[in-house]
Amino acid sequence: MKMTCCAPFVALLASAVLLTQCQGGDPNVIPLEDATNSDSDSLKYEGETHLANLRQLTYGGDNAEAYWAFGGDQLVYQTTQPAAGIACDRIWIMPLDPQGSADGHRGPYQVSNGLGRTTCPYFLPGDTTVVFASTHAADTACPAVPERGPEGRYVWPIYNTYDMYIQNLSTGEMNAIAASDAYDAEATVSPRGDKMVFTSTRDGDLDLYTCNLDGSEVHRVTDALGYDGGAFFSPDGEWLVWRASRPSTPEDIENYKGLLAEGLVEPTAMELFVARTDGSEMRQVTDLGGANWAPFFHPDGKRILFSSNHATGRFPFNIYMIDVDGNNLTQITFDEAFDSFPMFSPDGRQLAFSSNRNNGRTRNTNLFVADWVD
Distance CA 196, CA 186 (A): 10
Nearest to 292 by CA among 324, 319, 265: 319
The per-residue b/e assignment along 16-32, b for 16 or more CB within 10 angstroms, e otherwise, is ebebebbeeeeeebbeb
Determine, yes or no, domain membership for 259.
yes
Quick check: 17 pLDDT over 50?
Answer: no
Quick check: 72 pLDDT over 90?
Answer: yes
| The pLDDT value given to residue 41 | 77
Distance CA 193, CA 123 (A): 10
Determine, yes or no, domain membership for 66.
yes
Determine, yes or no, domain membership for 263.
yes
- Confidence class of residue 23 from pLDDT cuts 50, 70 and 90? very low
pLDDT tens-digit series, residues 211-223? 999 999 999 999 9
Quick check: 29 pLDDT over 70?
Answer: no
- Confidence class of residue 30 from pLDDT cuts 50, 70 and 90? low
Distance CA 133, CA 7 (A): 14
| The pLDDT value given to residue 152 | 76
Determine, yes or no, domain membership for 59.
yes
Quick check: 153 pLDDT over 70?
Answer: yes
pLDDT tens-digit series, residues 251-266? 999 999 999 999 999 9
| The pLDDT value given to residue 43 | 96
Determine, yes or no, domain membership for 363.
yes
| The pLDDT value given to residue 160 | 97
| The pLDDT value given to residue 299 | 98
- Confidence class of residue 103 from pLDDT cuts 50, 70 and 90? confident
Question: How many CA atoms lie less than 13 Å away from 188 in the CB half-sphere?
Answer: 28
Quick check: 9 pLDDT over 90?
Answer: no
- Confidence class of residue 321 from pLDDT cuts 50, 70 and 90? very high
Determine, yes or no, domain membership for 1.
no
CB atoms within 10 A of CB 44: 19
Mean pLDDT for 135-145 is: 96
Cβ contact 200:187 at 8 Å: no
Give the predicted TM-score (pTM) of the model.
0.92
| The pLDDT value given to residue 25 | 39
The percent of residues in the chain predicted with pLDDT above 90, rounded, is 81
Mean pLDDT for 176-193 is: 98
- Domain count for the chain, please give it: 1
| The pLDDT value given to residue 98 | 86
| The pLDDT value given to residue 6 | 54
- Which of 20-34, 43-57, 138-152, 277-291 is predicted with the least confidence, judged by mean pLDDT? 20-34
| The pLDDT value given to residue 28 | 52
Determine, yes or no, domain membership for 315.
yes
CB atoms within 10 A of CB 282: 15
| The pLDDT value given to residue 18 | 27
Determine, yes or no, domain membership for 70.
yes
| Domain span holding position 88 | 8-372
Quick check: 193 pLDDT over 60?
Answer: yes
CATH at 112: 2.120.10.30
CB atoms within 10 A of CB 73: 17
pLDDT tens-digit series, residues 292-315? 999 999 999 999 999 999 999 999
Mean pLDDT for 139-164 is: 89
Q: What is the 3-state secondary structure (H, E, C) of the chain?
A: CCCCCCCHHHHHHCCCCCCHHHCCCCCCECCCCCCCCCCHHHHCCCCCCCEEEEEECCCCCEEEEEEECCCCCEEEEEEEEHHHCEEEEEEEEEEECCCCCECCCCCCEECCCCCCCEEEEEECCCCCEEEEEECCCCCCCCCCCCCCCHHHCCCEECCCCCEEEEEECCCCCEEEECCCCCCEEEEEECCCCCEEEEEECCCCCCEEEEEECCCCCCEECCCCCCCEEEEEECCCCCEEEEEECCCCCHHHHHHHHHHHHCCEECCCCEEEEEEECCCCCCEECCCCCCEEEEEEECCCCCEEEEEECCCCCCCCEEEEEEECCCCCCEECCCCCCEEEEEEECCCCCEEEEEECCCCCCCCCEEEEEEEECC
